[in-house]
Structure 1
Amino acid sequence: MADIDTSGGGGKHKGGKKRGKKLSTRVDFTPMVDLGFLLITFFMLTTSMSKPSTMEINMPFKDEKMNVDDQTKIKESQAMTILLTGKDQIVYYFGIGDKVQNPLVTDYSRNGIRKILLEESKKRNPSIDSISIYRTMLKEKRINEETYKKNVSRIKAFKDGIIVLIKSDDKSRYKNLVDILDEMNITNIGRYAIVDIAPGDLKMINENPYVKK
């Protein structure tokens, strides 16, 4: 609201010379303050708070008293090991023990570890592409969230699906671990675990000529 103040200036002065009145304006910002509080209250009541997102991490359970028969056994054809090393590089190989295939080097790009995981997952789990169909059905509200999660869990738990072992050396960064866990979620890898790196894995990294030192 703007008020016009006519109290200042103008009138007769010494010498009998008459001057025109000077009009000054004064702006009242009280209504603007009220409007500001109304807007703040409106946004506080209508804006939904963001929910914290959680990341699922499967850690191996260590029990020295556990029998050998009770331990989870991984088939050679299912095992894939990912070694996180420095310079944002990944060394990966397939197999277990003495039957390990030649280790290869890749990165965290779309055409790197993500492409490899997608290809290997499809080889072992033909139903893995069905997850995108269920996701579309959920988005279109043709199924509820409970049905979606149930079907996705069933597909990811396919008994002959790929099993990924994630290991990191002392040169890798915390960001690298977060990135590879994101890739597990993006590529719908249902079974993976973070385990300690073995001396043989460190030797494999150090002796690989394609790993940046």
Structure 2
Amino acid sequence: MENLPKKVRSKKLNARVDLTAIVSVSFLLIIFFMVATELAKPKIMALSLPEKDPVWDGVIRCGAGIDYRVITVLLDDKDKIITYSGLLGYSDKLPKEFKYGADGIRKELINKKNKIQKYSGDSNRGPIVIIKPSKKCNFKNLVDILDEMAISKIETYAIVNEFTPEETKLLAAN
């Protein structure tokens, strides 16, 4: 039995794992997902729409009531804006063409707002603006007109994508 080979025992190495790299990668992933989540949140612009009331419904159905408060803004290509008050065809005022900026649509909106508030005697009753972007209108023009609403402090407006036949003819003529 003396000739039996001795068992070779391997040295036990220290089984420590260096976690520094894993911790660094974990923190980088946490930071990445926090930033990605923050950037993925949609940016929202406050939008006030007209309340449902019988007078507003009357304007749409029969062209009476608060007709003087309704301003329709048609957006077309090449930064063209056409506005009219009330309902097209029922008003004695012709549609007007404007450009963006302080001397264009902004001045018109502020003048209309002041006239409406003076006429109604109520500083809380401003214009009701219906924004209608055409298919030729670009996104920048829509954002610009929303900026003009905020600058002019017009609180009641809506974006509508349906055109009446009269509005289609008006855009085609200009």
TM-score (norm 2): 0.61
> 1:95 Cα shift?
1.6
Residue 91 and residue 60 in structure 1: after superposition, are their counterparts in 2 closer, same or farther (change >3 A)? same
> 1:59 Cα shift?
6.3
Residue 69 and residue 78 in structure 1: after superposition, are their counterparts in 2 closer, same or farther (change >3 A)? closer
> 1:173 Cα shift?
0.2
Q: Deviations over 1:31-62 (max 9, x none)?
A: xxxxxxxxxxxxxxxxxx9xx8631235689x
2: distance between equivalents of 1:76 and 1:70?
9
Contact 2:76 2:133 in 1 (8 A): yes
Contact 2:71 2:84 in 1 (8 A): yes
How large is the RMSD of aligned CA atoms in angstroms? 3.2
Residue 103 and residue 71 in structure 1: after superposition, are their counterparts in 2 closer, same or farther (change >3 A)? closer
Residue 183 and residue 83 in structure 1: after superposition, are their counterparts in 2 closer, same or farther (change >3 A)? same
Number of aligned residue pairs: give it.
125
Pairing of 1:120-131 with structure 2 (within 5 A): 120-126=112-118
2: distance between equivalents of 1:163 and 1:95?
10
Name the SS of the counterpart of 1:105 in structure 2.
strand
Q: Deviations over 1:76-98 (max 9, x none)?
A: 11111100000011011112143
Letter in 1 for 2:47: I
Contact 1:85 1:172 in 2 (8 A): yes
1: distance between equivalents of 2:165 and 2:145?
21
2:89 to 75, 98, 105: 98
1:189 to 123, 130, 154: 154
Contact 1:79 1:164 in 2 (8 A): yes
> 1:206 Cα shift?
1.2
Unaligned runs of 5+ in 1: 1-48, 127-153, 209-213
Q: Deviations over 1:125-173 (max 9, x none)?
A: 25xxxxxxxxxxxxxxxxxxxxxxxxxxx95xx24x2111100111100
Unaligned runs of 5+ in 2: 1-37, 60-65
Pairing of 1:33-112 with structure 2 (within 5 A): 54-58=44-48, 69=54, 72-74=57-59, 75-100=66-91, 101-112=93-104
Residue 79 and residue 60 in structure 1: after superposition, are their counterparts in 2 closer, same or farther (change >3 A)? closer
Pairing of 1:168-179 with structure 2 (within 5 A): 168-179=133-144
Name the SS of the counterpart of 1:110 in structure 2.
coil
Pairing of 1:22-41 with structure 2 (within 5 A): none
TM-score (norm 1): 0.51
Residue 77 and residue 60 in structure 1: after superposition, are their counterparts in 2 closer, same or farther (change >3 A)? closer
Name the SS of the counterpart of 2:89 in structure 1.
helix
Q: Name 1:31's counterpart in structure 2.
A: none
User: Going by fraction, where is strand more abundant, 1 or 2?
Assistant: 1
Contact 1:168 1:197 in 2 (8 A): no
Letter in 2 for 1:89: K
> 1:205 Cα shift?
1.3
